[in-house]
Amino acid sequence: MANNNHFNFENELWQTAVSLRGTVAPAEYKNYVLPLLFMRYLSLRYEQRYTQLTMELKEPRSPYYTGDAEMDAVILNDPAEYASQNVFIVPEEAKWSYLRSQARADDIKLKLDQAMRKLEESQPKLNGLLPPIYARSNLSVDQVAGLINLFSKDMFSRPDGSDLLGRAYMYFIANFASTEGNRGGEFFTPQAIVKLLVAMLAPSRGIVFDPAAGSGGMFIQAEAFTDNRHSLSFYGQESIETTLRLGKMNLMMHGLDGDIKLGNSLLNDQFPALRANYIISNPPFNMESWGADKLDDKDARLNIGYQKGQVTNGNANTMWMMHYLYHLADGGTAGFVMANGAMTTNQGAEKHTRRALIEEGFVDCIAQLPDKLFPSTGIPCCLWFLSKNRAGTHGYRARREEILFMDARQMGEMLNRRQRTLTDDEIQKMAEAYQAYRQPGGTLPNEAGFCKVATLAEVRGHDYKLTPGIYVGTQADDDEAEPFEEKMPRLTEELRGLFARSDELQAAILADLEGLV
């Protein structure tokens, strides 16, 4: 019942926010709505900490008690007393109570911009997160006032109000992604996929890295998975500045401190020396014209064990794989999303790199997912796991000559006509199979139609194709015999040929008919 209540609360907020959108495009609207949610969060956290300190200062048994009004004022205005709880002191002009009182002022948009400037000036960590964009926006005063009043609901004044705001922020991100179609995939990964990746990797201690960080969902789920939130540190890179801001705000609203930098990961790696224990990522699918010609032939990321990978400007998938492998620490594992075509493509450079990853012993697991998990794309996808803990060290079983395959195409339940999700039981089943495969002394997972531990000899026998259906005993779909990105151009060319042939036949028939006249 609690989950349904949360859904209704979040959905009610969303529907009201949508009704206030007017003619503003969804892709722009999120850049106005989400920063307001974030400002509400910052102000609420400040109010809560201020109230807590005030009560402590009045309590004689409290270690904060001084009995001195001047000392109390110093403590109440000491940034360190707030920073210790991941809270910022909010300037008067940026406090939510002030903005709410000014919500219907003719210059409220200007006041919002001023509030954001004040916040950025007062807190270095907020620098660049809150650009002044309201005064020049197409939002009306009524729209802005409606949003301010929406985020002023009494529920957000409860002790758990900051948690509710965090959940609302995540819910809004998911819905904005859904309304934006393919563009939504630039900043959002469906929760079922995020939960599955994290459950399979089971992060416990060390560095978590996401070079395609988006809105930061991988980090938030990783932190939720571990019992000790201080045992993980988070690093990421994002190429789109507006998305970077959304991600940083998301982390702060969940009490996380991450080092997320702006830049193109493949061409401008901001963390060349970083080696991560866990890499969790959802890179752009089948990215074309990404700049392969700009790579140095001596780029260390192209080294795959004793072999060298190859890249093609037609598809960045294998470059992402090599980027992940390069950034793995000894004993680390990377789990990431890929288009299904990456499992079987015969394109020269891509097949060469896939073969090198297999032969050098880095491919640990391939899990094929059901369709419609992404509302923003119809491209079917799978999960890849590359690992540097396959030699029988770091507490894991030796498995360099094996790969675990999982076929989850029949899993999931429909949320609506367009989108499917995975159930918690299905996520647990896949995670348990992967853990059993990695742990020493256990029973290797082998369930016909679902999973199998295959040898490299078997994979070689299938020409290095990694489609799970080949190995687990299910028939691979006809569509999977040829990757989508190769099949579509071929079929398009065939269709052009058929159209041309149709034109020729039509002309011949007309000529014959004219000859009868």
- Residue 387, Cα to own-chain centre: how many angstroms? 20
Q: What is the pLDDT of residue 479?
A: 46
Q: Do residues 268 and 381 share a domain?
A: yes
Regarding whether 115 and 17 lie in a shared domain, the answer is yes
Tell me the two tokens of residue 270.
Answer: 């901001």
* pLDDT over threshold 90, residue 442: no
- 496 and 398 share a domain? no
Q: What is the CATH number of the domain that holds 341?
A: 3.40.50.150
Phi, psi of 85 (to 5 degrees): -110, 20
Please write the tens of the pLDDT for every residue from 199-208.
Answer: 999 999 999 9
- Whether the per-residue pLDDT at 129 is higher than 90: the answer is yes
Residue after which a domain boundary falls, among 145, 179, 213? 179
pLDDT score for 94: 97
Q: Which of 121-125, 416-420, 426-430, 480-484 is the least confident region? A: 480-484
pLDDT at 145: 96
Same domain? For 411 and 374 the reply is yes
Residue 416, pLDDT > 90, answer no
pLDDT of 504: 72
For residue 451, give the 3-state DSSP assignment.
strand
Alpha carbon distance 253, 38 (integer Å): 7
Q: 218, 198 in Cβ contact below 8 A? A: yes
C-beta atoms surrounding 83 within 10 Å: 14
**Stretch among 71-85, 124-138, 484-498 having the lowest mean pLDDT:** 484-498
CATH code of the domain in which 65 resides: 1.20.1260.30
Average pLDDT, the chain: 90
**E-state strands within 340-492:** 363-368, 381-387, 402-407, 413-414, 420-421, 451-455
pLDDT at position 260 = 97
Q: Is the pLDDT of residue 181 over 80?
A: no
Structure tokens at 326: 């390069």
474 Cβ neighbours under 8 A, 6+ residues apart = 407, 409, 449, 468
Q: How many domains does the chain have?
A: 3
Do 174 and 291 reside in the same domain of the chain? no
Look at residue 163 and tell me whether its pLDDT is greater than 70. Answer: yes
Instruction: Return the residue matching tokens 């288009």.
Output: 339
**What pLDDT score was predicted for residue 130?**
94
Which pLDDT does position 482 carry in this prediction? Answer: 52
Whether 291 and 344 share a structural domain: yes
Share of the chain above pLDDT 90, in %: 77
Q: Which of 179, 211, 228 is the last residue of a domain?
A: 179
Q: Is the dihedral of CA 247, 250, 254, 256 positive or negative?
A: positive
| Judgement on whether residues 141 and 272 belong to the same structural domain of the protein | no
Report the C-alpha gap between 452 and 300 in whole angstroms: 33
Per-residue burial over 192-221, b if 16 or more Cβ lie within 10 Å, else e, is bbbbbbbbbbebeebbbbbbbbbbbbbbbb
Residue 65 pLDDT exceeds 60:
yes
Domain range for 95 is: 2-179
At residue 516 the predicted structure's pLDDT band, cuts being 50, 70 and 90, is: low
Q: How confident is the model over 455-460, as a mean pLDDT? A: 97
195 and 164 share one domain:
no
**Given a cut of 60, is residue 182 above it in pLDDT?**
no
Residues 361 and 295 in one domain: yes
Confidence of residue 5 (pLDDT cuts 50, 70, 90): very low
Contact 368, 422 (CB under 8 A): no
> Which pLDDT band, with edges at 50, 70 and 90, does 510 fall under?
confident
Q: Tell whether 431 and 496 lie within a shared domain.
A: no
Question: Do residues 488 and 421 both lie within one domain?
Answer: no
Task: State the pLDDT at residue 1.
Answer: 37
Same domain, 218 and 131: no
Please tell me the distance from the alpha carbon of residue 354 to that of residue 346, in angstroms, as a whole number. Answer: 10
Q: If you average pLDDT over residues 112-124, what whole number do you get?
A: 95
What digits encode the pLDDT tens for the residues 272-321? 999 999 999 999 989 999 999 999 999 999 999 999 999 999 999 999 99
Which pLDDT value is given to residue 60? Answer: 92
